[in-house]
Amino acid sequence: MKFFIDTANLNEIAEAQALGVLDGVTTNPSLMAKEGITGAENILAHYKKICDIVEGDVSAEVIATDFEGMVREGEQLASLHPQIVVKVPLIANGIKACKYFSDKGIKTNVTLVFSPGQALLAAKAGATYVSPFLGRLDDISTDGLHLIAEIRQIYDNYGFETQILSASIRHTMHVIDCAKIGSDVMTGPLSSIMGLLKHPLTDIGLAKFLEDFKKGN
């Protein structure tokens, strides 16, 4: 299972990278705005900084919603750095753009996916990654994890190579549940990864080991 971090914060990306378990980064326009990164030039420069920190795929989202605009922006993003994955929304033009990019060998991440049918379309269009938003489904009293399981089943039925990138992860249990279902990738905040470290018996056990070591030395 690949671990992506869902942020545009360079410190958090560096911290996750330093832990040695980071496989990539996802961003979106809201995450860029949260870091105060505005204006096309600054945004492009920020993507490059992210690529300099991590070794894996970095999703960069198009803003255009028309096909030509998506292609123009996507090609510009892809030319920035070999690690860039062009992120397009699950709308008709996004599916067309996904097919266009996949035919050209440019990696894609189809985002804002909330149903199995949408995920099927993304796979048919040759998406590298599909991003079902499980936390946002949970937010409206709908079972986000069930969607991940449905997509897993559909992709396995036909051998689609599109990777399920479980997105909108909110906490550590989401990560574990996605791993049980067989999600290829998860993207979440740094806290969802760091939470995997925690167990009180680990802390108690380590304290005891250190205490016993001191007694003998």
Residues that are catalytic = 87
Interface with ligand E4P (CB under 6 A), residue from 83, 93, 108, 111: 111
Nearer to ligand E4P, 115 or 158 (CB): 115
Q: Residue 73: CB partners within 8 Å, gap ≥ 6? A: 62, 63, 64
| 187 counts as binding ligand E4P under rule CB under 6 A | yes
Q: What three-state secondary structure class fits 109?
A: strand
| 133 counts as binding ligand E4P under rule CB under 6 A | yes
Q: Give the range of 12-20, 67-75, 90-98, 129-137 binding ligand E4P by CB under 6 A.
A: 129-137
Distance (Å, whole) CA 113 – CA 127: 12
Nearer to ligand E4P, 6 or 12 (CB): 6
How many residues touch ligand E4P (CB under 6 A)?
Answer: 11
Torsion of CA 179, 185, 191, 194, to 10 degrees: 60
Interface with ligand E4P (CB under 6 A), residue from 6, 12, 57, 177: 6
Instruction: Tell me the CB-side half-sphere exposure of residue 51, using CA atoms within 13 A.
Output: 19
Alpha helices of 65-199 — where are they, by DSSP H? 67-80, 92-103, 116-124, 134-139, 144-158, 172-181, 190-194
Structure token pair of residue 122: 């993304």
Site string (51-80) toward ligand E4P, x via CB under 6 A: ------------------------------
Minimum distance from residue 84 beta carbon to ligand E4P (Å):
14
- State the residues that interact with ligand E4P by CB under 6 A: 6, 26, 28, 111, 131, 133, 135-136, 167-168, 187
